[in-house]
Amino acid sequence: MSLKAAAAAVRENAHAPYSNFKVGAAVRSASGQIYVGCNVENVAYPEGTCAEAGAIAAMVAAGEKVLAEVYVIADCPTPIPPCGGCRQKLKEFGKGDVKVTMATTDGDEQETTIADLLPGAFDADHMERS
């Protein structure tokens, strides 16, 4: 299955009764395996989680920690950009040149990279002083 098909399929499982905005994400890890996630909202709104977070959690739970490619899809006017928190989560597990495809359910796609999504990112180097 393609990343696109995997993301579109898992989007259908999103739990989004409060926003009515379903998001699907699929990531391919360094091993070539695909992991998927959808947004899971909660009546206590801040407790909801994003699709990208779910896909990353599935990858890590399976014992993998390296992102090779990312695909995110939603029913929106322009390809869905990952939220700020998800950009930092992607950066944790993917090098800057990892391709991120943002898509609409109408078939519009826009390609970017983790580095372009999060310029000036905070990382472990910033905690070193020597």
6 scored as a contact of ligand THU (CB under 6 A):
no
Given 52, 64, 69, 111, which residue is catalytic? 52
> What pairs with residue 127 in β-bridges?
none
- Does residue 109 have an active-site annotation? no
What's the burial of 103, exposed, middle or buried (CB within 10 Å: 0-12/13-18/19+)?
buried
90 scored as a contact of ligand THU (CB under 6 A):
no
50 scored as a contact of ligand THU (CB under 6 A):
yes
57 scored as a contact of ligand THU (CB under 6 A):
no
Structural contact between residues 37 and 56, judged by C-beta atoms closer than 8 angstroms = yes
Binding range to ligand THU, per CB under 6 A, among 14-22, 60-68, 89-97, 121-129: 14-22
Give the SS3 label for residue 71.
strand
41 scored as a contact of ligand THU (CB under 6 A):
yes
19 scored as a contact of ligand THU (CB under 6 A):
yes
Q: Out of 60, 83, 115, 121, point to the residue binding ligand THU (CB under 6 A).
A: 83
Which residues, in sequence order, are CB contacts of 111 under 8 Å at separation 6+?
Answer: 99, 100, 101, 102
What does the alpha-carbon distance between residue 30 and residue 103 come to, in Å, rounded to a whole number? 22
Q: Out of 9, 33, 48, 104, point to the residue binding ligand THU (CB under 6 A).
A: 48
Q: How many CA atoms are closer than 13 Å to the CA of 71, on its beta-carbon side?
A: 24
Q: Which amino acid appears at position 57 of this protein?
A: A
Residues acting as catalytic residues: 52
**Contacting positions for ligand THU (CB under 6 A):** 16, 19, 21, 23, 39, 41, 48, 50-52, 82-83, 86
